[in-house]
Amino acid sequence: KAQLLKSNREGDLAGDIAKPFYVNVNRKPEIQEARLKLPVVAEEQVIMEAIRNNTVVIICGETGSGKTTQVPQFLYEAGWSHPDSANIDYLVNVDNPGMIGVTQPRRVATVSMAKRVADELNLSDKEVSHQIRYDATVSNKTRIKFMTDGVLLREMSQDLLLTKYSTIIIDEAHERNLNTDILIGVVSRVLKLRAELSREDRQKIKPLRVIIMSATLRVADFTENKTLFPIVPPVINVNARQFPVAIHFNKKTPLDHVGEAYKKITKIHERLPNGGILVFLTGQNEINQLCKELRKRYPALPPKATKKEIVKEEKANALESKTDSTPAGKADIEDEALELGENQVEEDFDLSSDDDDDIGEGFDDDELADVKDAPLHVLPLYSMLPTEAQLRVFEPPPEGTRLCVIATNVAETSVTIPGVRYVVDCGKSKERKYDVETGVQTFEIDWTSQASAGQRAGRAGRTGPGHCYRLFSSAVFDNEFEKFSTPEIHRMPIEGVVLSMKAMNIDNVVNFPFPTPPPRENLMKAEKLLGYLGAISTTNRHITEFGRTMSLFPITPRFAKMLIIGQQHGCLPYVIAIVSALSVGDPFIQDYHLDEDQPDTDDELESRELGNITSESVAEKERRKLVRKKYYSSQMKHVGLDPSSDILKLLNVVGAYEYAGATTKFCEDNFLRPKAMEEIRKLRRQLTNLVSSNFPEIDICLDPKMPPPNAVQLKVLRQVITAGFIDSVAIRQDVLDTGGGKGVRYKNAKNVVYRLLWTEEEAFIHPGSILYSQEPPAMLVYSELYKGGKNWLKCNTAVEAKWIAKIGKDLCSYGRPLDFPLPKYIGEKKDRKLVYVVPSFGPKSWPLPPVQ
């Protein structure tokens, strides 16, 4: 077969190319056999010919048809990245055509696909490499490079014309992630720029081809958008064999989709014929909980994974169950960013009511069984799972067991799990949402689109006819599901991207060729924020020197600004720690649900779930509560640390963690997620190195052990935070009512109303905030707005009104009496410095929390 394929290809190419060129590849026979079955391989000639004759090619094919793993190999074999291929006519005058770049929206797929392609080609990870935000195997031998689209975007601010690449494959374009969309727009500009080069100049650079790959056929946004691609690119449809999938809707839509999924899985497993089960849930917590319950019910006997290992994994999961979040902006849009804010999970599944017992539908009676204790091979799949654990889904399940993978929407199109016959779909996914008014992001669980649900169902029909069980009614599907998911660009804060675009000298972002342009309003808003932050000129909208410096940091513009101001005031190491902690997300395992006066937030439910997983005893919970209370409020005050900011609390934790030797034990003793703490550490190191290498004139302390800040520095830090979050101010209602007067005295923040500065919405300090149990400040800046019933202000810092008037000059209007900020500060002396003295660090070490 292989012989035939090759000779076919040669025959086809012979007319065009004087000397056919193929890079020799030694695939293992079993790999070769498997790949010949992939539908995309049957289209190899068509695809390669299209790529030779067109600058842009679009490839559409069902998930699992082989696009991601095979297309880079076609190119590799045809010499698109091989130094010896210079004699091919379409690569004339080129010493080395450059790399084949493949972009992915998700880290999981980036790493695992690079590994898979390296395995198939029998090459090392130096030759088929990956590059993600924290990790890369790229070398000067790299031929095929898998990377997240964020990585390529960042790379392009240095090399806009993409001179290192012969081809750029933009994969998973149907997901319509922000970075993918931007990338497609930028690449279309690059092609235009290249076309405008003089003949002479053009010959100096390598030819570039762009391949856009998509799982669904909705490519009109790419083909019919004349500003994007003036010449309509050819679309190659790969006809994947898709077996019919019977769709079963629930009659009712349950509130608890995890419990419902559990019920459905037990029924499938006990009654239906062989075949893997793939379950779609919204996030890591739900997945871990369901895995745990299923393993309890069907103790699997995997020969390799011993009980000990499972316990270990569960323990790790319990500690990790709320993942890190990546800030918006230049960060890669990776699915773990969507893991924040878990939702509704019941402690016990309600197994009583059962009005949806149609499990045998579509099966003959003799196919149905009733087996209670058959082993089930339960595997989780989500992006924060270690790579080895992720790759386990590709292995056949142990003899005599049924595979059951519980996944986030990473299994929707990025990863194809073999042998799936049953899909259980909760119909929801977690999405990053973006408040156009405040610019604050929230994470919400919502129905996916009809297109996504179709994709998910399709996973059951890869190897044979399948069944998809939807845990929602057809009425909900018809009435509440959108047809297609909204492109992320319409849901996300875009100031970081706008800044990157500015740094690439794309000034007119409003007219940028986005596949589906975001509302002008959002683009203008992003420009406005960048103006406030001083990143772009408020008059001509060009990037400022300050903005260019900001754009060098792989973090959202507001954090970049904080770093720069922190440096100017001698607090850089602290600000780096703060920014790292805020970038990674909350490392605390929450415990405030233990108080009686708790609101009914999702977090509360989540922490209850956590308690469930770790099987914490009441005594243990009490201890946690005690440690928390003592350490983080009175203790902080006692040792002179500032109790007026959650962000400074984070700083304290980071400092103490280092002094305690950065151990997992420290995390366990203090109820911190070790993985989050490690990630913070990593980001700190990365940012520190970045600063010391990019700005050699800055004398930065490379020792991760920082002495604790003194009182003045603490004040500076709060001002730095104010500068970074100048657009997220809340003021106490009574203070506002009295026009800036003293207002009412409160003992704590319970039920104390705040107003958000720009939208005038009502908000409350979240009980998890350090400010909750003390006299609430007249004014604060928040770094997270959590919408759960009420608006909850999280991660707050008490600020002084005069700082706002000073730092946020441009944001303040002083005209009408009730306007903010307070009129009485109008006359502030102009030349007063923000900070007067910057004393040196004290010798004290970070106070450690008391450990019983």
Provide, rounded to whole angstroms, the least separation between the CB of residue 416 and ligand ADP.
4
- 3-state DSSP of 642-690: CCCEHHHHHHHHHHHHHHCCCCHHHHHHHCECHHHHHHHHHHHHHHHHH
Q: Which residues neighbour 167 within 8 Å (Cβ) at sequence distance 6 or greater? A: 51, 75, 80, 81, 100, 101, 208, 209, 210, 211
**Position with the least CB separation from Mg ion:** 68
Amino acid at 806: K
- Stretch 378-407: interaction string toward ligand ADP, x if CB under 6 A: -------------x--x-------------
Would you say 213 or 550 has its CB closer to ligand ADP? 213
Would you say 63 or 157 has its CB closer to ligand ADP? 63
Q: Could you tell which of Mg ion, ligand ADP, none binds residue 394, using a CB distance below 5 to 8 A set by kind?
A: ligand ADP
Would you say 126 or 218 has its CB closer to Mg ion? 218
Q: Is residue 544 part of the contact set for ligand ADP (CB under 6 A)?
A: no
Q: Could you tell which of Mg ion, ligand ADP, none binds residue 452, using a CB distance below 5 to 8 A set by kind?
A: none
Beta strands in 64-107 (DSSP E): 99-104
- If you write DSSP's letter for every residue of 248-267 in order, what string do you get? EE-SS--S-HHHHHHHHHHH
Tell how far CA 215 is from the center of its chain.
20
Q: Could you tell which of ligand ADP, Mg ion, none binds residue 38, using a CB distance below 5 to 8 A set by kind?
A: ligand ADP
Provide, rounded to whole angstroms, the least separation between the CB of residue 91 and Mg ion.
26
Contact assessment for residue 141 and residue 121, using Cβ atoms and an 8 Å cutoff: no
- If you write DSSP's letter for every residue of 466-484 in order, what string do you get? EEEEESS-HHHHHHHSBSS
Q: To which residue do tokens 């809707």 refer? A: 249
Provide, rounded to whole angstroms, the least separation between the CB of residue 740 and Mg ion.
57
Would you say 113 or 822 has its CB closer to ligand ADP? 113
Would you say 68 or 688 has its CB closer to Mg ion? 68
Q: Is residue 214 part of the contact set for ligand ADP (CB under 6 A)?
A: no
Tell how far CA 513 is from the center of its chain.
24
Contact assessment for residue 337 and residue 365, using Cβ atoms and an 8 Å cutoff: no
Q: Could you tell which of Mg ion, ligand ADP, none binds residue 64, using a CB distance below 5 to 8 A set by kind?
A: ligand ADP
Q: Is residue 452 part of the contact set for ligand ADP (CB under 6 A)?
A: no
- Cα distance between residue 349 and residue 440, in whole Å: 34
Q: Could you tell which of ligand ADP, Mg ion, none binds residue 418, using a CB distance below 5 to 8 A set by kind?
A: ligand ADP
What is the Cα gyration radius of the chain?
28
Would you say 68 or 408 has its CB closer to Mg ion? 68
Q: Is residue 455 part of the contact set for ligand ADP (CB under 6 A)?
A: no
- Stretch 3-42: interaction string toward ligand ADP, x if CB under 6 A: -----------------------------------x----
- Cα distance between residue 440 and residue 730, in whole Å: 13
- Which pairing describes strands 729-732 and 428-434: parallel, antiparallel, or unpaired? unpaired
Sign of CA pseudo-dihedral 7, 11, 12, 18: positive
Provide, rounded to whole angstroms, the least separation between the CB of residue 118 and ligand ADP.
10
- Cα distance between residue 140 and residue 395, in whole Å: 32
Would you say 69 or 442 has its CB closer to Mg ion? 69
- Cα distance between residue 805 and residue 825, in whole Å: 7
Q: Count Cβ atoms within 10 A of the Cβ of residue 759 and give its class: 0-12 exposed, 13-18 middle, 19 or more buried.
A: middle
Would you say 38 or 807 has its CB closer to ligand ADP? 38
Q: Which of 234, 418, 531, 823 binds ligand ADP (CB under 6 A)?
A: 418
How many CB atoms are located within 10 Å of the residue 826 CB?
10
Q: Which of 416, 442, 774, 797 binds ligand ADP (CB under 6 A)?
A: 416
User: How many H helices and E strands in the chain?
Assistant: 31, 21
Which residue from 224, 221, 135, 112 is spatially nearest to 173, judged by alpha carbons?
Answer: 221
Provide, rounded to whole angstroms, the least separation between the CB of residue 376 and Mg ion.
27
Q: Could you tell which of ligand ADP, Mg ion, none binds residue 61, using a CB distance below 5 to 8 A set by kind?
A: ligand ADP
- Which pairing describes strands 128-132 and 144-148: parallel, antiparallel, or unpaired? parallel
Instruction: Please tell me whether the peptide bond between 821 and the residue prior to it is cis, using omega within 30 degrees of 0.
Output: yes
Q: Which of 48, 66, 68, 101 binds Mg ion (CB under 5 A)?
A: 68
Q: Is residue 284 part of the contact set for ligand ADP (CB under 6 A)?
A: no
Would you say 37 or 665 has its CB closer to ligand ADP? 37
Part of the chain binding Mg ion (CB under 5 A), chosen from 60-68, 490-498, 533-541, 650-658: 60-68
- Stretch 221-260: interaction string toward Mg ion, x if CB under 5 A: ----------------------------------------
Contact assessment for residue 235 and residue 43, using Cβ atoms and an 8 Å cutoff: no
Q: Is residue 276 part of the contact set for ligand ADP (CB under 6 A)?
A: no
Q: Is 852 helix (H, G, I), strand (E, B) or coil?
A: coil
Residues touching Mg ion: how many (CB under 5 A)?
Answer: 2
Provide, rounded to whole angstroms, the least separation between the CB of residue 37 and ligand ADP.
9
Residues of this chain, 55-114, that bind ligand ADP according to CB under 6 A: 61, 63-70, 112
Q: Could you tell which of Mg ion, ligand ADP, none binds residue 66, using a CB distance below 5 to 8 A set by kind?
A: ligand ADP
Q: To which residue do tokens 């935070």 refer? A: 721
Q: Could you tell which of ligand ADP, Mg ion, none binds residue 558, using a CB distance below 5 to 8 A set by kind?
A: none
Q: Could you tell which of Mg ion, ligand ADP, none binds residue 432, using a CB distance below 5 to 8 A set by kind?
A: none
Would you say 266 or 455 has its CB closer to ligand ADP? 455
Q: Which parts of this chain interact with Mg ion (CB under 5 A)?
A: 67-68
Q: Which parts of this chain interact with ligand ADP (CB under 6 A)?
A: 38, 61, 63-70, 112, 116, 391, 394, 416, 418
